[in-house]
Amino acid sequence: MVQTAMNKYNYKGDYTYAYCTKSSHFRFVVQKAVESGAQLEISSAYDTALIRNLWSDGVITKDIMIICNGYKSDQYLASVLWLREE
């Protein structure tokens, strides 16, 4: 559908899909999204733990874009900073 709309309106820019982890936290779902080329959008400290595990297991690399979009609790901020430093 996105490609059809891009063609219809002669859109020449880039399109980047970011899978929103809060729609499903199941590891196999997130892993399949990443394997299909999706970037990630996270919104909680729970999401950062999932990202850590996927990174530790080699499922995601440092090249992935992670959009941090959520309430910025101290735990979430600390986890996001850890991801950034790693």
Which band of pLDDT confidence, cut at 50, 70 and 90, is reported for residue 71?
confident
Confidence of residue 84 (pLDDT cuts 50, 70, 90): confident
Stretch 52-66: mean pLDDT: 92
| Confidence at 28, pLDDT banded by 50, 70, 90 | very high
d(CA 78, CA 2): 35
pTM of the predicted protein model? 0.80
Model confidence at 13: pLDDT above 90 = yes
- DSSP E strand boundaries for the chain: 18-20, 39-42, 66-68
- Kindly give the pairing relationship between strand 66-68 and strand 18-20: unpaired
